[in-house]
Amino acid sequence: MTNNDIFKKLRIALSLKDFEIIEILELADFKMTKTELSALFRKEDHPNYKECGDQILRKFLNGLITKNRGPRPQKN
């Protein structure tokens, strides 16, 4: 299973729209356009397909944690 497959399954399971995914990525200080995002959800044989790297998936998961739990508390 690829990172693209995992990302697609999370998108469907959480019923997320493109703008919501972009907002979640921004919570993890990662900027992505709607066009770049749609390339991740294309079929592998599509000419505009883009492989989802570990960093993108990690940033999405960290942003999702921030969205659901709030920002990390600052250490003293």
Inside any domain, residue 74: no
Are the C-beta atoms of 38 and 7 separated by less than 8 Å?
A: no
Residue 34 counted as domain residue: yes
Task: Flag whether pLDDT at 73 surpasses 90.
Answer: no
Say if 58 falls within a structural domain: yes
Measured CA to CA, the distance from residue 51 to residue 44 in angstroms comes to 8
8 Å CB contact between 27 and 63? yes
In a domain, 75, yes or no: no
Query: Is 32 among the domain residues?
Result: yes
Query: What letter would DSSP give residue 45?
Result: T
On the question of pLDDT at 74 being above 90, the answer is: no
On whether residue 31 sits in a domain, the answer given is yes
Assessment of whether the complete model's pTM goes beyond 0.75: yes
How would residue 49 be classed by pLDDT, with cut points 50, 70 and 90? very high
Q: What is the residue range of 20's domain?
A: 3-69
Instruction: Provide the number of structural domains found in the chain.
Output: 1
